[in-house]
Chain A
Amino acid sequence: MSVDVTGVDRETLVRPIQSRSKYFLVALVAALAGIGVWLYFYTQQLQHGLIVTHLADWGSGGGVPWGLYIGAFIWWVGIAHGGIILSAAVRLLGMDTYQPVARMAELLTIAALTCAGIYILIHVGRPDRLVTSVLPAWPWRVHWSPLVWDVTVITAYFVLTATYLLLTIRYDIHRLRDRLPDRLEPLYKALMIGYSETEDKVVERMVWWLAFAIIIMAPLLLHGGVIPWLFALLPSMAGWAGGVQGPSFLSIALTSAVSGIIIIAAAFRYAYGWEELIPKPVFYGLSKWLGFFGLLFLWLQLQQVITGIFAAPTTLQHATEVKIATPIYWVAIGLVIAAEAYIFAAALKSSLFTIPRIVAVSVLVLVGTLVEKTLFVVEGLQHAHFQLYDGVPGVYVPSAVELSSVLGTVGIVVLFFLVVSKVIPVVELHAIEDDHEEVRD
C-alpha cells in the first residue's frame, strides 16, 4: 500500500507553528497540571526519602525494592527504542508510507528517553550522587555492572537520536525559514550554524549510516540487550533469568512504540486537520504492524508460561504459577488479545477500521504493556529462588507517589510535543517533496 502525500503544500506542514487555538492552551495546562501533581509528590519523596513510596525490602522485609518506577522505566525505554527503529526503517528500507510519521517517532524517542532518564533519577535513593558517584566510577565499573552498560548505551543512543534529528531538521528549517516565526530567530540561528545547501547530500549519507547504526543497535543492544539483561542475568530471581527476556522485551518495545506513534499521529491529524498529510492508510498500515508486534508479544508470553509450568524447576514453576494466578496479568494480556482481535477483524474487513478505534486500541495496548512490565519486575522479585521468603507477608501496590510519576512523565511527553510542534515541523519536508528534491516553492 503506497501513500502519496507529495501534493500537500508547505502551509499545511507548518500549520501547527502558525496556528493558535484555545485547545492548545487547554492541552498545555493539562500537561503542566499532570507534571505539577507529580512534582508535588516527588518533593515529598525528596524530603522524606523513598519511604513515602510503597517499596520495601525483598526478603524478610515483605516487599519489593523495585516496583512501578522500574516497570515504567522499561516501558518508556521500550517506547523510545521502538520509535526510532520505526523511523530508521523508513529511511533504510524505503518504507515511504510512514514518512509522514517518521519525525514524530524520532521526537517520541527523545521524549520517552528523557522520561526513562527521569525514572532512573527518581528511583535512586540519593539522586545527588548520580553525578558525584556515577561519573568517577564509570571507567572501572563499565565492564561489570549491567546497570552501567545500560546507562552507557542509553546515553549513546540519546546522542545518536538527537544527532539524527538535528541533521534532518536543518534541511527543513532552511527551506521553511520564511514560514517560521521570527521571535525564535536566535534558536533557528543556533540550529543552522554553518549550514549550506551543499551539506544536504552529505547529511543524507550521514543520516543513512546513523539509521543503520540505530537499526543494529536498538534490537541487539538496547531493548533486546542491556535492558533485558538487567534482569535476565540475575539467577537469583526465577522469573527473570533466561534468554527469552531479550526477544520478549523487544516485542514489548515495538508494540508500545507503534501504539505511541498511532496516538500522537492521530492527535496531530485531529488537531490540525492533517487528513491530507497523514492519510488514513498510514494508520491502517501502522495498525497491521501493531498487530504483528502484539502477536510476537503474546507468543513470547506463551513461551514463558508453557516452559514455566510444564516440568519447570521448582522455583521457576512457582514464579510462573504466581504469574498466571494474578488476575491483573490476565487483564494486561486480555487487553493485548482484544487489540489483536480488533486489528485482525479490521484487516479482514476494512470498513471496521476507524482512527478513533485504533487510537483506543493503542491506549489499551500501552496500559497492558505497562502493567505487564511492572508485574514482571514486582513478581519476579517477590518469588525469588530463596523460597523461604515466599511466606513473608506483604504485597506491593504502587503508592500515589509512584502512580503520580506516570502521570507526570506522560505530561512531560505531551508538553514536549506541544512545545516542539511550535518550533519545528513535526513532519519532515521530505514527506511532501518528490524524490527528496525541491519541486516548488
Chain B
Amino acid sequence: MQDEDTPISFDDDETERMERLLDDTEYDTELGVEMAKDAQRVAAGELGEAEFYREYHEDVLAEFGEDDREISGLLDGVEGDDVSEKLSSLAGRDDLSRREVMKKGGAAFAALSMFATAGQESAAAAGDGDADEGTRYGMTINLNNCDGCLACVVACNQEHGTSDGANWMYVFTYEDEDQDDENFLVRPCQHCTDSPCTKVCPVGARHTREDDGLVLTDYDICIGCRYCEVSCPYGVNYFQWGEPDVPDSEIDDDHQYDERGKWVGSRPPKGVMGKCTFCVDRQDGQMGEERIGTTACEDACAMDAIHFGDMNDPESAPNQHLREYRDSQGNDMTFKNRKEHTVSTFKLMEERGTDPNVHYIGNEPSPHARQVDGPVTYEDMDIVENRKEEVLDNGAMANDQGGEEA
C-alpha cells in the first residue's frame, strides 16, 4: 500500500540526472523532467491520470506534433459510445478531431466496442470498473447478536422454494480454541466484488449484475458444470441435483425473472446451480416498494443481526451499523477474535482477495474451529442439514423404486 502521508519528492541529484539524460536528446528537457516527475506521482496515486493527460497535452503536441500517450487506463468501465466523449474531455477541449480520438483510443476503443456487443454482463465481468459507484448491495452481520435460532435459514428456504438441504443461508455453530462457549457464523453468499465464480463460469451464466453488484446465475444459460461451486472459497453454491421440491407452477414469474428479463430468481430448475440471490426479486420491487433493500433473512431475524443495504451509501443500514460498532470500539480495527465485551469486524477469508460484500461483526472462526450442534438444531426446525445423507444418498436411486428409506 502507498503511504499517503509522504508525497513523492525528487532531490536535486535525481533531477540533475534526468536533465543530463534529456539534454542528450533534441527535445525539450524541462518538459521531459516535469512530465517524468508527474508520471511518478500518477503511479503513486497523488495525481489523477486525467489531470496528467490534460496538463501536458498542448505542450506535448507543440513539442512532438502528436500526443500518443497511453491512456487506456482511463477508459476502464467506459461503454463504447462514451469513449470519444471521454477522450475529448480528457484533452480539456472539444476540438479534438474524431480521427485524433480514434488514433489515441486505438486498441482500447476496439476492445471496448467488442465487449459492448458481447452482452450486458460482459462489462461487469470484464473488470468491475464501477464497483465504487452506483449501488452495491451487501450486508453487515452482527454475529454477537445471533442466537442461532435458524429463523433466517427457514425464511430463506421458504421464500425461494429451495429443495431440501440447499440452505442458501446457513448458520454454523462452532467452538474454537480462543473463544468461549459457542459461536455462530451466519453464511449467505458473500456477493464478492471480485468473485471467483463469475471468473470461472465457462458460459457467463454466473455474473455480476451491473446495476447493484448482485452475483446471480442465469438459469437459462447454466450448463451445470459446477465450476463456480468448485472455485468458491465459501461453499455457498447448491446444485439442483434432481427435480426441485417446489414445482415451477408454484412460483410466480415475477419472482423468477429480474428487471432485465433474465431468469435468476427463486430456486433453480434441475441440472443447474443455485445460491443466495440477495432476494433479487425484492430488490427489483416485485414484492412491493417497501421490500426494496430488504432480504428474507433480514426480515426473519428477531435479533437484529442482519443488516442489508447499499454498501456504497454511507447512510445505509449495514454501513451505519458497522460505523456504530467501530465508533464505540475505537481500537478494534487491527485485532481480531476479541473476547466478550470487545468486538472485531472482519470479512470472511478476506485474504482470498475476493472482496466480499458481507461484513461481519464478532469473532472470526480460526482454522481450528469445529462445528457443533447449535441451541436449535436443523432437525428441530425441520430443515435438512446434511443433504448428502438425508436426501441424495437415500433419495437417489429410490426415486423410482418407492424410496423405502425416507
Contacts and interface: CB of A to CB of B under 8 A. Distances in A.
Nearest to B369: A388
A386 B201 contact: no
Nearest to A317: B367
Contacts of A235: 233, 352-353
B387 A130 contact: no
B20 interface: no
Contacts of A415: none
B92 interface: no
A128 to B, nearest CB: 9
Contacts, number: 197
Interface string A280-304: 0000000000000000000000000
B165 A61 contact: yes
B241 A55 contact: yes
Contacts of A391: 370-371
Nearest to A139: B118
A56 B392 contact: yes
B224 interface: yes
Contacts of B203: 129, 133-134, 137, 141
B87 to A, nearest CB: 24
Contacts of B202: 134, 137, 141, 145, 147-148, 151
B360 interface: no
B395 interface: yes
Interface string A51-71: 111111111111101100000
A67 B395 CA distance: 19
Contacts of B56: none
Q: Give the dominant DSSP class at B's interface.
A: loop
B241 A50 contact: yes
A388 B365 contact: yes
A56 B233 contact: no
Interface string A399-420: 1000000000000000000000
A49 B271 contact: yes
A354 interface: no
A162 interface: no
Interface stretch (A27-35, A84-92, A119-127, A182-190): A119-127
B270 to A, nearest CB: 5
Interface residues of B, number: 67
B118 A388 contact: no
Nearest to B372: A391
A230 B399 CA distance: 33
A261 interface: no
Contacts of A386: 233-235, 349
Interface residues of A, number: 58
A136 to B, nearest CB: 8
B120 to A, nearest CB: 11
Contacts of A144: 125, 199-201
B367 A394 contact: no
A66 B388 contact: no
A125 B185 CA distance: 31
Interface in A137-155: 137, 139-141, 144-148, 151
B386 A48 contact: no
A129 B233 contact: no
B29 interface: no
B52 interface: no
A388 B400 contact: no
B243 A49 contact: yes
B387 A61 contact: yes
Interface stretch (B43-51, B167-175, B208-216): B167-175
Contacts of A339: none
B387 A141 contact: no
A139 B119 CA distance: 11
A314 B365 CA distance: 14
B242 A57 contact: no
A66 B386 contact: no
Contacts of A127: 223
- Among B172, B241, B352, B370, residue most surrounded by chain A Cβ atoms (within 10 Å): B241
17 contacts: A50-B239, A52-B399, A57-B166, A57-B229, A57-B237, A59-B170, A62-B389, A63-B387, A63-B388, A65-B226, A125-B271, A140-B122, A147-B225, A236-B196, A236-B352, A388-B174, A388-B371
Given A314-B368, A394-B388, 14 more contacts: A48-B399, A48-B400, A51-B392, A51-B395, A51-B396, A56-B241, A59-B235, A60-B170, A66-B226, A137-B203, A140-B204, A151-B202, A387-B368, A389-B235
